[in-house]
Every structure is written in C-alpha cells, then in structure tokens.
Amino acid sequence: MAQSYKSLKEDFVSNLSGGGMSEINWVTAVAPAAVLLWSVLQSRHDFFSHYNLLAFVTDFFLNVAAILSAITVYSSSPVILNSLLVSPAVCLYLLPRRSRTRQKRPAQAPSANGRASAHRDQDIRSTLPDRPFITHYRGSMMVVTCLAILAVDFRVFPRRFAKVETWGTSLMDMGVGSFVFSAGLVSARPILKAQGADRRSSVGASLKAAFRHSLPLLALGLIRLYSIKGLDYAEHVSEYGVHWNFFFTLALLLPLVASLQILPTWFASVDMIALLVSCIFQAVLDSTSVTAYILTAPRYSLISQNREGLISIWGYLSIFLAGQAVGLDILPRTGSKLSRSIFGLHMNRPYTVRLVLWSVWYSMLLFLAVSYKALGLQVSRRLANLPYVLWVSAFNCTQLALFSAVEILVFPGLYSPIDKKLEGQRSKQATSQILAAFNRNGLAIFLLANLLTGLVNLATNTLQAGQGRAMATLVAYASILTIVAMIMHWKNIDLKM
C-alpha cells in the first residue's frame, strides 16, 4: 500500500467528533423494527416456517440489508426507514391470522400422578429457556458490527458514525461496547447452570478455564497484529495503541472476570461490582495524571505505546459485568429460584418490565454523569470512562427491552408450554435463522469480516468509490458473511473461541 494512500486512509478515520445519541438510537432502532416485521410475517402468515429461497432472501433483506441501509443510504433519514418497516408490520398484524393446523398438546396426566406432573413442571421451570429476543439482539448487534467495519472505509458511511478521536459518541463506539456487553450477558448462562446444580468452581479452576478460553483470542490478536504490520495496512493508533487490538482486550477480560471470585460471597451483586469498578476508575482518571498520560504522553516504551488498550480494560470490565448482571436477571424463568433483579433485590416481574427498569436506571445515572449541574463528564470510548460505561449499558438494556417487547406482542405465551420440547419448537419458529446464524458463531464471523475487510481495502481504493460501487461492494460483502454463517448454522458447526 502506497504511503500517501495509507496516510489518506488514516486521516479518513482520525480526529472525528461523532454525532448525537438520539440519532444513534434512531439508526439502531431499525434492527428491532425489522425483527417486528419478520415476527409478524412469521406469526400471522407462517412465512418462514418453510425456509425456501424466498424466505431466505426476505430474511436477508429485513435483518441484514435494512441495517446496511440504515448506516449508509438512509443514514440521514432513519425515521423514514423505521416507518417503512413498522407500517407494513402494523397492517399485517391487524389482518386475520392465517389458519394453521394446531399442534396436539400432550395428554394431561391424571390426578393420581399429580406429584409426578408437579415434579416434571418443576424440572421445566428450573431450566434456562432459549429466548429468541436475545438471539435477535445479539445477532443484530453482530450484523451491524460486521457491516460497519468495512462500511467505515467508504464515503457512503457518514463520518459521524465512525469512532471518535477522544470525546463524543458514535455508532462504532457503541458497537465496541455492545460487543462486550452482549458477551457478558451470555456469560451468565453457565453461572446460572452451576447455581442450579449447587456447584461452585474454585478460583483456581475458574482462572484456568479463563486462560484456556483466552488463548484463541490471544492468537487472533497476534494474527491481526502481524497482518497489519506486515502488509503496511492503515491503522488508527489512538484507538487502542500501536500493537494492541480488540482481540487482546477480549482475551484479557476473561481472567479478570474469573479473578473476581476471590470476593466474599456476601458481596455477590454483580451490578454493584460493575458500578464500583467504573466509579473507582473514573476517580483515578479525574484525580491523577492518568488521563493526560493516555492522551498526550509520548510512545517510548511497550506500555506507553499501548496505553489506551491496557488502561481502558477497566472500563470494558465494567461493561462486561453490567451485561452479566442483566443476564443473571433475565435468563432464568420468571419466578424461579435463580431469578433476581437490580442490586440483588428479587422482583417477580416480566423480563420486559425488568429490562425497562434496567434501562431507566442506567439512563438516570448517565444523565447525572454528563449533566453540567452534576458531574459534567464527557463520554470517551478511548478512555472507557464512567459515562461511556453507563451509555453502553443504558443503550443495550433499551435494545433488549425493544426486542423483548416485540416478542411478547407477536409471540405471546412463548414460555408457557406443556413441555420443554414443545417450548423449543416454538422458540425456533420465533427466531430468524439468519440472526441465529450470526449469533451462533459470532466471533468466527467477526474474524471473517476482518479478513474480508482487509482484502477489500487491499484490492480497491475505497476512498474513490462512488455510492453505487460502494453499496455493491457492501451488499456482496454482507451476502458472503450471511451465506457462510448460514452454512455453518445448517451444518451445526460451532466454532467456540
């Protein structure tokens, strides 16, 4: 890559100030709006029950192409795009439901077997249900993340959506934090399973498992580092540092989370730990020279060269724990012995209500953090400071609440069948196959997206590409990612990293 072109590429993604939070909310609202239309088509007309080519193309246009449009050609008018998705969904929802053959319910057990039936019901309630709205949330998050990492290199992608230099908010800044939050969300599942079985791993065993899972991430980080340096690829040094990248951040998070088991059992409120870590980190940023060191210090040693990645890990740890706390709350069945709520207070309410409460809680804290009448702080993804942690947490809780509201509206009674098998069938019918595929092998698809992004940038001058050429490239790129994800999904391939 020519040095002049490399400099142009680096300037294209540097010194940006981002955009407003409200615009980001409208753009990302396209994902739950698209899922709403998908859900109405499925629940009212069984459109995706027989997954043929037409169903696949429709699924792609709704859950991939609509998101691509939101961050490119419809970036200045996301309200219109949302209206184009919600309006037909409302009309279809009001139409009479298509008649279907009702599934026969298993015969009820006679009263003489009441104890066995009660025991069976208890076994069903003790399991962790598959929640389609979480699959839709994580799948959509992965889709927009993968699309943005290539789209940002084209002029069709607004500069206000690219990562900011230091202070401010942008779509891609939210993407990084959402990736970590969603990872924390699903990390609650093995914890809940262990609690349900009355098992507790030792700190040593947890650390050993964490390091084992970190090794593939560390390897991916080294591969990315070697590729960028070896190919003289354009890089944004102030994002993570000279050598650091996002894979290293993910690799370091797992041992840090596992080490928290040394805390006493009475200090078990994960949401409190998340907030405490973030507040302490913010106090360090405000009361010491750490902020000045991150922003202005010369890069003369290995640590100073990678200071953004090394120091911001504490903010990402808080985001991961915030996601884990929400997962511990909403993954169990409502009313089960494993369910909990904000700050450990038991609250027997529907999960959508609890998600709204989480969203309100973090939004209030964010307002206090950024209000000039209170703390007057600014959001910084580069520092991963307290406002950034609160913003990411509030945003993701709101997204989850929207996806869960769609599920409750369109698929009521999804988690109240007679048996687990029937519940699984219902959940599968209520889940987009494309979003399930992106969710199932998210990290592998993210790696493929990084590789394809590098190939596209080496093969073409993205800065000189017009809108038509850029969109054609992005649609082809999105199609490749989707087809690979679907093949892995259909072949039951799970690449755990």
Question: What does the pLDDT read at residue 399?
Answer: 97
Tell me how far CA of residue 51 lies from CA of 134, 248, 429, 434, in angstroms: 21, 38, 11, 11
Question: What does the pLDDT read at residue 190?
Answer: 86
Distance CA 459, CA 263 (A): 51
Distance CA 305, CA 298 (A): 8
pLDDT in tens, 361-410: 999 999 999 987 778 899 999 999 999 999 999 999 999 999 999 999 99
Q: What are the backbone angles phi and psi of residue 19, rounded to the nearest 5°?
A: -140, -165
Asked whether the predicted pLDDT for residue 111 surpasses 50, the reply is no
Query: For 260-269, 317-326, 341-350, 408-417, which range has the lowest pLDDT when averaged over its residues?
Result: 341-350
Question: What does the pLDDT read at residue 208?
Answer: 86
Question: What does the pLDDT read at residue 107?
Answer: 44
> Which is more confidently placed, 394 or 422?
394
Asked whether the predicted pLDDT for residue 339 surpasses 80, the reply is no
Distance CA 177, CA 379 (A): 12
Tell me how far CA of residue 280 lies from CA of 68, 179, 273, 393, 450, in angstroms: 38, 23, 10, 17, 34
pLDDT in tens, 138-172: 999 999 999 999 999 999 999 999 999 999 999 99
- Written in H, E and C, the secondary structure of 223-238 is HHHHHHHHCCCCCCHH
Query: Taking residues 313-318, what's their average pLDDT?
Result: 96
Tell me how far CA of residue 10 lies from CA of 80, 233, 457, 463, in angstroms: 33, 9, 12, 11
Question: What does the pLDDT read at residue 103?
Answer: 47
pLDDT in tens, 253-267: 999 998 887 775 556
> Which is more confidently placed, 276 or 118?
276
Asked whether the predicted pLDDT for residue 115 surpasses 70, the reply is no
Distance CA 10, CA 463 (A): 11
Distance CA 368, CA 362 (A): 10
**pLDDT class of 105 with cuts at 50, 70, 90:** very low
Distance CA 186, CA 228 (A): 31
Question: What does the pLDDT read at residue 342?
Answer: 55
Distance CA 484, CA 150 (A): 17
Asked whether the predicted pLDDT for residue 38 surpasses 60, the reply is yes
Tell me how far CA of residue 168 lies from CA of 5, 31, 200, 377, 395, in angstroms: 27, 23, 41, 11, 15
One-letter amino acid identity for 100?
R
3-state SS of the chain: helix, strand, coil percent to 5?
Answer: 70, 0, 30
One-letter amino acid identity for 22?
S
One-letter amino acid identity for 225?
L
Contact 30, 81 (CB under 8 A): yes
Paired with 19 in beta bridges are 169
One-letter amino acid identity for 340?
R
Paired with 169 in beta bridges are 19
**Highest mean pLDDT pick, 98-102, 199-203, 360-364:** 360-364
**pLDDT class of 448 with cuts at 50, 70, 90:** very high
∠ CA(425), CA(446), CA(440), 5° rounding? 15
Query: 486: how many CB neighbours lie within 10 A of its CB?
Result: 19
Structure tokens at 183: 């990872």
